[in-house]
Amino acid sequence: MALRLSMRRTLTTLAVIALLFSAGSAWKAEAGEYKVLGPGAQSCGTWTKKSNEDSWLHVQQTAWVLGYITAFNTWGPFGVNSGTQVVSDVSKGVDVDGILAWIDNWCRANPLDTVSWAAGQLMVELIKRKAN
């Protein structure tokens, strides 16, 4: 139980760090140019290999993906708008295990993609669901 709580705290901390990196380049994303920093720049092949090893790198990759989604919820088209807080949760109804299973499946099928690309494709799927 203590290990699980410690892991959760670590993931939360890493998610906040990933959020800070992701939010800082939001304006570049609109122009189609931005640099992916941290574990999101690694390949899906690395994601799949490290998830099977239950490694520290996979914890970092997981935190990066969760931070990416959090950043989208905060700064994306459904998030803050003109200084007015808009309630947004593009991942509403999907738990962390579901998110990670989706990334696992994508990365297994597309090992040459990056983790950031997989996260982006997940966002496309979540946006489609939100629109319906």
Look at residue 106 in the predicted model and tell me its pLDDT.
97
How far CA 25 is from CA of 18, 40, 49, 107, 113, in Å, comes to: 11, 14, 29, 24, 21
Domain contains 56: yes
Domain contains 32: no
Q: Indicate the number of domains in the chain.
A: 1
Domain contains 119: yes
Provide the domain limits for residue 20: 2-25+39-131
Which residue from 66, 51, 55, 52 is spatially nearest to 21, judged by alpha carbons? Answer: 66
> Per residue in 43-102, pLDDT tens?
999 999 998 887 899 899 999 999 999 888 887 665 544 455 555 788 888 999 999 999
> Per residue in 7-49, pLDDT tens?
555 544 444 444 434 443 333 444 456 788 888 899 999 999 9
Which sign does the torsion angle of CA 81, 70, 48, 57 carry? positive
Domain contains 46: yes
